[in-house]
A and B are shown apart, each in its own frame.
Chain A
Amino acid sequence: MGYFKAENTLKMFGKFVAVAFCAGMLSACTTPVPSANSETTHDPIEPLNRGIFQFNYAVDTVLLKPVAQGYDAVMPKRGQTMVSNFVSNIKEPVTFANSVLQTDANNSFTTLWRFLFNSTFGIAGLFDVASELGLKNRETGLGDTFAIYGADAGPYLMIPVFGPSSVRDGIGRAGDVFLDPISYTNNPVFYSVVAVKTIEARHRNMKLLNDIYNSIDPYSTMRSIYTQFRAKAIKNAINQRNKSLESAKSQDSN
C-alpha cells in the first residue's frame, strides 16, 4: 500500500516536472515584473539563479534546440500550424478553470465554446475553427489569477529545466498542473502531450531565444524580457477581467 502511495507521489512529481519543463520553456519567452524606473529586477538569489540558467542552457543546447530545429526541417508549415492549434486546445481546460476563478465570465464562456468547437469540428484541436467564428484565444493561468487577487510577483526565480519565473508564477504553474485533466491520464498520453508542447514552444520561440543567447549577458537579458512580458500580460489580464465584469454589470442593470 505504502509502495503504491510512493509510486503515485513519484508519478505526480514526474508529471509536475515534465509539465513545468514545457511550461517553463514557453514562459521563458511569453510570460514577468519590472518597474520602468528600477534598473534591475528583484533577484536576491542571483548567483544560484545564474547557475541554474547555465544548466538550462546546456539542456537546451544538447536537446531542445536540435529537436526543435529538426521539427522545423521535417514538418511543413501547415503541419506546424496544426500542432500549434493542438497545443493551444489542450491548454483550454486550464484557461477555463482560471477564468472561472477570476470571475471572468467572457473568457470562461469563450474558452468553453472554443474547446467544444475545436475538439469536435476542429478534429481534436488541429484546426482552430473557433477563431474563425470570432472566439479568440486568451490564455491564462494561476499566476494571472493570483496577480488579479493582488499577489505580488515576489523575487525572480530560475527553476531547473522549468526556466524563468517568479515566486508567485512558480506556485501558479505548479497549481495549474493539478487543474489540467491531462495530468490525470495514463503515462504514455501524458508524456506524449508534454513532448509535443515542449517542442512546439521551443520551435515557436526560436528567434527570441537566439537573440537572448546572443546578447552580452544572456541571463540578465532573459530576466528583463521575462519580467517585462509578464508585467504586460498581468496588466492585460486585469483589463480584460474588468471589462468582463463591467459588461456583466451592465447586462444585469438592463
Chain B
Amino acid sequence: MIFLQARNIIKRLLVVVACLSLLSSPSVAAPVDDASKYIESLGDSAIATLTDKQLDKETKTKKIEQLFRENVDTVWIGKFVLGRFWRQINDDQKVRYLRGYESFLVRNYATRFTDYTSGSFKITDARAGSSNEFIISMQIKSEEAGGEPIIVDYRVRSDTKNRKNNFLVVDIIVEGVSMITTQREEFTSILTGKDIEYLIAQIAKKIDSAPNKS
C-alpha cells in the first residue's frame, strides 16, 4: 500500500517537473516565418537605398553601412573569426581588435553592395538551423552581377536584447562561400605565423585604405 502511494507521488512529481521544464525552456525561440520576414524587410531597405537615383554614392554608402551595423552581429563575428586565438589575447587587445574589426567588416562588406544600382530579390527558402538560428535563402538578380541569379543564404539568430528587430545576421553565404568561414581561415592563417598586434595593425591599414571612409 505504502509502496503504491509512493509510486503515485513520484509519478505526479515527474509530471509536474516535465510541465515546468516545458514552460521554462525557450521552446521555439522565434518562428521561421518571422526570420524570413525580417530578411525580406532588410532586403527591401537595401534595394530602396541602392536604387534611389536621388542619392549620391557617398550617401548610399553611409546608409548601407548603417544598415549593416544595425543588423549584423559584428561583435560575435569578430570573436568567431579569431577562433582559438580569442582566448589567447588580453582584455586590452580584445577591445582594440573588436573596435577595429567592426569598421573593417563594415567597410569591406557593406561598400561592396554600393556598386549595385539595380536589382531584385526573392526569398526561396527559410529553415530552422541549430538552436535559435535560421537560414534564409535569397535569390538576387542584378544587371551588375551579369544577369545570372545569385543564391545568398543569410544565417540569422534571434536576439531580443535592446534591438528594434528580434534578429541579427551572423553570416552571409554567397554561392556556398561563407563570409565568416573565409575570414576565420584568413585570420587563423595570419595568427599562426604572426601575433595579434600585427593583425590589429593590418586591419587598421585596410580601414585607412578602404574607399568611402566615413
Contacts and interface: CB of A to CB of B under 8 A. Distances in A.
B186 A216 contact: yes
A41 interface: yes
A228 interface: yes
Interface string B158-200: 0000000000000000011110011011101110000000010
B206 interface: yes
Contacts of B190: 216-217, 220
B114 to A, nearest CB: 13
A204 B146 contact: yes
B176 A39 contact: no
Contacts of B184: 39
A204 B203 CA distance: 28
B118 interface: no
Given A216-B190, A216-B203, A223 B185 contact: yes
B112 interface: yes
A221 B182 contact: yes
A220 B185 contact: yes
A232 B175 CA distance: 8
Contacts of B146: 204
A100 to B, nearest CB: 26
A2 B102 CA distance: 65
B88 to A, nearest CB: 14
Contact of A40 (B115, B175, B188): B188
Given A34-B181, A36-B181, A228-B181, A215 B176 contact: no
B182 A233 contact: no
A224 interface: yes
Contacts of B186: 215-217, 220-221, 224
Contact of B176 (A216, A219, A223, A229): A229
A216 B175 CA distance: 22
B185 to A, nearest CB: 4
A231 interface: yes
B202 interface: yes
B185 A233 contact: no
Most B Cβ at <10 Å: residue of A216, A223, A235: A216
B83 interface: yes
A73 B25 CA distance: 60
Given A41-B185, A220-B185, A228 B177 contact: yes
A45 B156 CA distance: 36
A219 B190 CA distance: 10
A228 B184 CA distance: 13
Given A34-B185, A39-B188, A221-B182, A216 B177 contact: no
Contacts of A207: 115
Nearest to B182: A224
A225 interface: yes
B190 to A, nearest CB: 5
A7 interface: no
A162 B203 CA distance: 30
A216 B176 CA distance: 22
B35 to A, nearest CB: 20
A76 B206 CA distance: 34
A211 interface: yes
Interface in A202-227: 204, 207, 211, 214-217, 219-221, 223-225
A214 B186 CA distance: 12
A130 to B, nearest CB: 15
B173 to A, nearest CB: 9
Interface string A226-253: 0011011101000000000000000000
B179 to A, nearest CB: 10
Interface of A: 34, 36, 39-41, 81, 204, 207, 211, 214-217, 219-221, 223-225, 228-229, 231-233, 235
Q: Please list the 5 inter-chain residue pairs (A to B) with the smallest Cβ-Cβ separation, ordered nearest first.
A: A232-B176, A220-B189, A224-B185, A224-B182, A39-B188
Interface of B: 83-84, 112, 115, 146-147, 175-178, 181-182, 184-186, 188-190, 199, 202-203, 206
Given A216-B186, A220-B189, A224-B185, 12 more contacts: A34-B181, A39-B84, A39-B184, A40-B188, A207-B115, A214-B206, A216-B206, A217-B189, A220-B185, A225-B182, A228-B176, A229-B177
